[in-house]
């Protein structure tokens, strides 16, 4: 699939008030804005046209636009974030997405966050996490089925979202923390060490693979497989439990 467009939202002045389990200190807003700009430039270099929304200080985690929606080539699903502070982020995202897709919606009492959804071809893995509940996963499976996609569930134990711990990087390869390495049958899985767990969240876009900067062992394994990597400094988003996939919604 070739992506042509991305939707993003800039971090706001109260970015540091978002939810986090990371014990890495407060993020620096200026540095976060600089890292967000660099991320935007990398997406443009991959051939994408960007729609960058202004920050909304009602939602300190609003820059993590991956969570309030799931976009496919046939439709988009507006989710219901599972953390109460994030409920409502989906409103503006729905407005923008309605320019490009027909919209489906997850309804109460379902909760889903897009970070729990890992797409591989026409199959969607649904992470069952603290943010994506049984009812949300059930509604998702019905929607995917209606549009001709298959889905299955993966229970989460240690990470925030499914894609915090595993991503599909293309050419049949996954990169994963040990918890998920057995879920993908015979597929080739790069298993990251505990020190490099953050590198399990990579973002393939067209001919490039965005990887977080500072994880040399993971980088070497990826580069040795022939991927064209673009390294992005993510330190300030990591402090708020966000990774590369979280910062954009990609549209083909
Ligand atoms: C949160 O806890 O909701 C945000 N601080 C981080 C969300 C990261 N999103 C993602 O992994 N898809």
pTM > 0.95: yes
Report residue 186's pLDDT band, with 50, 70 and 90 as the boundaries.
confident
CB of 110 sitting under 6 A from ligand 1: no
Q: How far is the CA of 242 from the centre of ligand 1 (A)?
A: 5
Q: How confident is the model at residue 1 (pLDDT cuts 50, 70, 90)?
A: confident
DSSP state of 185: T
Closest by Cα among 82, 84, 85, 95 to 9: 95
Q: What is the pLDDT of residue 58?
A: 97
Ligand 1 close to Cβ of residue 127 (< 6 A):
no
Please state the rounded mean pLDDT for residues 150-175.
97
Q: Which pLDDT tens digit goes with each residue over 17-51? A: 999 999 999 999 999 999 999 999 999 999 999 99
Residue in the structure block whose two tokens are 């989906």: 90
**pLDDT-derived band of residue 226, with 50, 70 and 90 as boundaries?**
very high
Could you confirm whether 202 is annotated as catalytic? no
* Length in residues, the chain: 252
Query: Chain-wide mean pLDDT for the chain?
Result: 97
DSSP string, 16-79: GGS-----S-PPPHHHHHHHHHHHHHHHHHTT-EEEEEPP-TT-TTTT-TTTTEEE-SS-EEE-
pLDDT tens, position by position, 130-158: 999 999 999 999 999 999 999 999 999 99
Distant-in-sequence, close-in-space partners of 217: CB < 8 Å, separation ≥ 6 = 192, 193, 196
| Average pLDDT of the residues in 202-225 | 98
Model pLDDT, residue 185: 84
Q: How far is the CA of 2 from the centre of ligand 1 (A)?
A: 25
């Amino acid at each position: 699939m070739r992506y042509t467009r991305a939707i993003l939202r800039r971090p706001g002045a109260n970015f540091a008030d978002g939810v986090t389990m990371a014990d890495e200190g407060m993020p620096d807003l200026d540095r976060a804005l600089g890292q967000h700009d660099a991320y935007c430039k990398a997406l443009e270099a991959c051939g994408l046209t960007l729609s960058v929304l202004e920050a909304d200080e009602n939602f300190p985690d609003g820059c993590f636009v991956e969570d309030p929606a799931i976009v496919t080539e046939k439709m988009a699903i507006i989710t219901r974030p599972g953390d109460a502070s994030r409920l409502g982020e989906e409103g503006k995202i729905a407005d923008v997405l309605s320019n490009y897709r027909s919209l489906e919606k997850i309804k109460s009492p379902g909760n889903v966050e897009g970070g729990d959804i890992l797409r591989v071809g026409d199959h969607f893995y649904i992470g069952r996490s603290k943010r994506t509940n049984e009812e949300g996963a059930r509604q998702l499976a019905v929607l995917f089925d209606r549009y001709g996609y298959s889905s299955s569930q993966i229970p989460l134990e240690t990470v925030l979202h499914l894609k915090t711990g595993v991503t599909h990087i293309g050419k049949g390869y996954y990169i994963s923390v040990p918890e998920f390495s057995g879920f993908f049958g015979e597929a080739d899985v790069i298993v990251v060490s505990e020190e490099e767990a953050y590198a399990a969240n990579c973002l393939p876009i067209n001919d490039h693979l965005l990887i977080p900067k500072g994880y040399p062992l993971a980088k070497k394994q990826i580069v040795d497989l022939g991927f064209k990597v673009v390294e992005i400094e993510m330190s300030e988003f990591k402090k708020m439990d966000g990774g590369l996939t979280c910062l954009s919604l990609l549209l083909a």
